[in-house]
Structure 1
């Protein structure tokens, strides 16, 4: 039983190859003037995704619908995620929600979140002195 639980299709298989149930996978990058987020959403229709942005957080939620009903005899493995998903991120800097942009292409959701003027002013490069 333990081999079934920890085996290739057991516990780790259910949580993904990295041992995490977080889906969709996301990259979050902070630039000087904006925050960029990329979320991989293969098999999800653009109309089934909602993005909510406020000054300090982003929520991505939606549904990946089953493409076809599985009928008939035979063995099959269901590892691809289906169903509702939701990810929430607290942002490293304050952003301007009214200027946020979202695009969806080839199963990838891209968000550009311009930083607020106050957040841009707080980041200062300082000189490093020698001894």
Structure 2
């Protein structure tokens, strides 16, 4: 009888599935939480592209101070598996907060522009124009 119980209990249990699901869950969290980012430094501006899958525009916050760009976001990752009849077999949800900071000196935050489309945040931060014709040195007469 003990053998029958253990065989019945473990017949639906596959240890490798447990590890597959565990790894899959952390892989999903890792890919969304790291905010994959590209930054291009042009002569007159910075262009920043950030992948924020699952985020809504209202849940993204951008701040620039002390020559540092800070981006934070909160988002929901939801997964629902159903059988052929539409019965829910599993429903998982995860709410996460993530942020990144980048040192971008001399950006003009008042002229910055941001768009968010298909999970990609794109920022254009013009650089402050410095007067290169002006000589900061004091001449001796």
- Using the size of structure 2 for normalisation, the TM-score is 0.59
In structure 1, C-alpha distance between the alignment counterparts of 2:29 and 2:80, rounded to whole Å: 23
Give deviations 1:70-93, integer Å, cap 9, x for gaps.
8x656x9x8x974001101111x3
- Structure 2 residues without counterparts, runs of 5 or longer: 1-18, 82-87, 133-141
Alignment of 1:38-117 (within 5 A): 38-54=49-65, 56-67=67-78, 73=89, 82-91=95-104, 93-117=105-129
Higher relative contact order (CA 8 A, sep 6+): 1
Q: Which has the higher strand share?
A: 2
The total of aligned residue pairs comes to 107
Once superposed, which parts of structure 1, at least 4 consecutive aligned residues long, lie more than 3 Å away? Answer: 12-17, 66-70
Q: CA RMSD in A?
A: 3.5
Q: Computing the radius of gyration over CA atoms, which structure comes out larger, 1 or 2? A: 2
Give the helix-richer structure, 1 or 2. 2
List alignment gaps of at least 5 residues for structure 1.
122-131
Deviations 1:28-61 (A, max 9, x none): 1100100010001121111110011135110000
